[in-house]
Chains A and B, each alone.
Chain A
Amino acid sequence: MQKLLLLGDEAIAQGAIDAGLSGIYAYPGTPSTEITEYVMHSKEAKSGKVVASWGANEKTAMEAALGMSYAGKRAMVCMKHVGLNVAADAFVNSAITGANGGLIVVAADDPSMHSSQNEQDSRFYGKFALIPILEPGNQQEAYDMVHYGFDLSEKYGIPVMLRITTRLAHSRSGVALKESRTQNEIRLPENLRQFILLPANARRQYKHLLTNQAAFISASETSPFNKLTDHKDKSIGIIACGLAYNYLVENFAGHEVPHPVLRIGQYPLPEKMVRDLYDSCDSLLVLEDGYPIAEELIRGFMNNGKPVKGRLDGTVPRDGELNPNIVARALGLADTRGRDIPAIVSSRPPSLCKGCPHIYSYNALNEALASLSKGRVFSDIGCYTLGALEPFDAINSCVDMGASITMAKGAADAGLVPAVAVIGDSTFTHSGMTGLLDAVISKSPITVMILDNATTAMTGGQNSAAVGKIEDICLAIGVEKEHIRILNPLQKHHEENLRIMMEEIAYPGVSVVIPRRECIQTAARRLREEKKKQETSKAEA
């Protein structure tokens, strides 16, 4: 059997290709980015003409995937957990329309916030939308669950969520591949009104979704990814979701876990299995990465049955990623933590690359605002968020994609004038354009700096939808031509850049300043690739 060493993300991508995927859509976001990149670079996917594309944001990606499913083909859409907030409208309603071709929504959560602004648990979204959720415990399951998930989706005509976390996404292990299967032919839904959510139709569809809930639960009861294993010591029964199972097993290295264990990889929770475990044990311990969603369900509102331990009663910390030691402590086992970190070890936060264009933009901006009181720069999500740290200390907010412009507008409405927004090119086309329209309509006295480095840098330099379009977009939205200023963020242009920024900050309407220079990482990669191409064409000549 062929075994490949794959990241969890790559296992999902390979699984999708082998399971007859026709299209994958995404907006880059750690830790989900590598799924779509893998399909983009796959020769098999190319020869099968699989569509792999970055959308302007997660919502457009979700809708494109739904469109492909409508046409009867298998589609996948990938995003980080907070991306699902952006896609939520399409996502929740896709549960009502249902799917035609298999549709899998991959949501990559980031407990412990390694690269994110929160650690929200996407399983809540899956439950909210009333759809089945799959949660792999290892790379092999990540691969297998895609095949299984497409089948489940097509059997019930329902989108299926595949929920992973950073740890699995970015961890590598051997994965055995299945035979690949062919893609679906185009086949429209039998009922051409299925996807029309006019109230009368939506009510019918919603009832259908509700009726299917019992079927989803019974699919969970018989799922190969949910397993109840009995063992002698019934003082405690353990429910372990996804990766938590590995941490549990790790603590009994080489031996069997002495307690009954219910391993969960598919939701809704298998009610009967949970009930059997509860009935046979004196207490329950729930181990899950993310929010205590299973724990809350099992505990219930009255909480007057047997003790249920987990994140809610403090047996497991309320926040942060699980690990083997946290699980050991929850089981009352000895903690094995080694020597302490010596006091002389300093923290080493990430920083902008040497020569990064943002450095010069922030230096000029800081100087341009020096004579004003602090606290008027609203920023956004990207490498430039590092402008919050030393030595820049240049920004005062980072909330969600696009919030820089709209928060600046609101603050200006409140009287904080001038207010400045700082947003990247890719973030601007993701969710900044509509906010700029709001600001133009109310003639807000704000300056929007669109840091144009021609890429989506933070996630590793994916194509930016904004390239070559920013001025045209701003003009079309209604920003005055003479208040769209382009500058080159380099030390040698500092004085000129400073002057332009000061002029535009002083302008009492919407102005846009575009510091434009390519990200040095993408530039270096481009040069390497060009050199390679030249060399190969020379060798061929």
Chain B
Amino acid sequence: MKKDIILAGVGGQGILSIAATIGTAALSTGLFLKQAEVHGMSQRGGDVQSNLRISDREIASDLIPQGKADMIISVEPMESLRYLPMLSPDGWLVTNTKPYINIRNYPEMDKLMAEIEAQPRHIALDADEIARQMGSPKSANMVILGAASPFLDIEYSSLQDAIRSIFRKKGDDVIQVNLDALEAGRNFTTGKLNSRT
């Protein structure tokens, strides 16, 4: 088993919370893990990414080779496309559709969506809206993770356990909100996949 994942977003959007959840789940099942993060200047509202690698065998490189990533998980639509050179020809693109606009020349939304729709294997959802409707706008990242979960090759229950352990100190309510967000994202993707077949 090997999953190479690019996590993408804008500095400050907290992509590392997704990485931490996958990482905790992977370690609890005895997998190897390497995770390269971006610290420093880009964290001030610039584009950020993290290379997350999990495998049942020892991992050599901290960086995923270009064209070998199994998945791009992005919390921002334009950022999801920035890492296409990393994605393998049969990899999945899972992205939030809610734009984060802090630059003047942000592309027009319909053109951006057309590019995303043109990707052979993609899941695009407005995670912010889903999280807002559930009354927990802060858990959009967990919605995205849920939407990516069917492709992860990690037991769903391990992801749930990871959320329980990460948010342990914050109490049962916070845990439940995040579990629900994870579930909502997962349902979105399974719905999409079922409607296709």
Contact = CB atoms under 8 A, between A and B. Distances in A.
Interface of A: 5, 7, 30-31, 33-34, 114-115, 167-168, 170-174, 243, 246-247, 249-251, 253-254, 323-325, 328, 335-342, 344-353, 383, 386, 390, 458-460
Contacts of A7: 37
Interface string B16-55: 0000000100010000111111111111111100010000
A340 B51 CA distance: 18
B85 interface: yes
A138 to B, nearest CB: 8
B27 A5 contact: yes
A341 B85 contact: yes
A172 B41 contact: no
Contact of A115 (B36, B41, B91): B41
Given A346-B107, A349-B46, A337 B67 contact: yes
Contacts of A345: 78, 81-82, 107
B65 A325 contact: yes
Given A5-B27, A171-B36, A337-B67, A342 B41 contact: no
Given A168-B62, A249-B61, A348 B102 contact: yes
A246 B36 CA distance: 14
A199 B192 CA distance: 78
Contacts of A114: 38, 40-42
Interface residues of B, number: 53
Contacts of A341: 81-82, 84-85
A462 to B, nearest CB: 13
Interface in B49-82: 51, 57, 59-69, 78-79, 81-82
Nearest to A386: B44
Contact of B41 (A336, A344, A350): A350
9 closest A-B pairs by beta carbon, nearest first, are A115-B40, A336-B67, A350-B46, A30-B40, A324-B65, A338-B67, A250-B61, A171-B36, A350-B44
Contacts of B42: 114-115, 350
B15 to A, nearest CB: 14
A171 B57 CA distance: 18
26 contacts: A5-B27, A114-B41, A115-B41, A167-B36, A170-B36, A173-B35, A173-B59, A246-B60, A250-B60, A250-B61, A250-B65, A251-B65, A336-B67, A338-B69, A338-B86, A338-B91, A341-B85, A342-B84, A344-B107, A344-B115, A345-B78, A348-B47, A348-B79, A349-B46, A350-B43, A350-B44
A167 B62 contact: yes
B40 A351 contact: no
Contacts of A247: 60-61, 63
Contact of B45 (A174, A328, A340, A351): A351
Contact of A254 (B23, B34, B57, B68): B57
Contacts of A249: 60-61
Given A172-B33, A340-B85, 4 more contacts: A172-B35, A336-B67, A338-B86, A348-B103
B195 interface: no
Contacts of B68: 336
B194 to A, nearest CB: 27
Given A323-B63, A351-B44, A171 B88 contact: no
B137 interface: no
Contacts of B81: 341-342, 344-345
